[in-house]
Amino acid sequence: PLIFHYILSFGNIGVDLFFLLSGVGIYYSLYNNKKNTYRWYAYRFKKLMIPYLIITILFVAIKLYLGLFSSTEIGFIIRYVLTIQFWLSHQGAWFVAAIIPMYLLAPILYKHIRKNSFIAILFILICYIVDIIPLQYFDNKIIVDILNNIQFASIRVNCFILGMWIAKKIEQKQRD
């Protein structure tokens, strides 16, 4: 029913709020760990990817055993587990697929946002430009699917960057 669809649509607000708070948390994590980016990446990998991989591999194994998985092709399963399948056909853990590039780029974003707040605005504008690319002009379905999934994730990137910018503003007030 329409009322359930309406109520469930509020879940998107929770995801956006999580990405905003994640941006704040990542900013402070990088601020406290600015001397060793390698250690920061290792910690993020341990906290995000290890639990994700354990849960996803178990999930895939159970679905394969029960015959519920949409494909038994080994390439598909590997792409699914590694979140690549999200970018290709919107299948799998989109949340993890979206946060991996954000975590990979976070030290660069952090460095630039600390130097100049305008950079945060520039990154957000780039994401909005990506979001308004008209997909009807592309003939290749694979390219359209990939761009559609990039647009789906880039909306959340704005929340993440905004969270990093907010953290910078909070940090500045604490210093002043």
Per-residue pLDDT in tens (0 to 9) along the chain, 176 residues: 677 666 666 667 788 888 999 999 999 999 998 778 899 999 999 999 999 999 999 988 998 888 877 666 888 889 999 999 999 998 888 889 999 999 999 999 999 898 887 877 888 888 778 777 777 778 888 888 888 888 888 888 888 999 999 999 998 887 75
Residues 6+ apart with CB under 8 A from 150: 87, 130
- What is the model's pLDDT at position 163? 93
- What is the model's pLDDT at position 35? 79
Name which of 117, 125, 108, 105 is nearest 171 in CA terms: 117
In one-letter notation, the amino acid at residue 138 is F
- What is the model's pLDDT at position 10? 66
CA 37 to chain centre: 19
- What is the model's pLDDT at position 57? 93
Q: What sign does the CA torsion over 48, 49, 51, 56 have? A: positive
> Is the Cβ–Cβ distance between 88 and 142 less than 8 Å?
yes
- H-type alpha helices, 10-73: 11-32, 37-44, 50-66
- What is the model's pLDDT at position 83? 93
**At 4, is the secondary structure helix, strand, or coil?**
helix
Distance from C-alpha of 172 to C-alpha of 167, rounded to nearest angstrom: 9
- What is the model's pLDDT at position 11? 66
- What is the model's pLDDT at position 104? 92
Residue 68: how many CB atoms within 10 A of its CB?
8
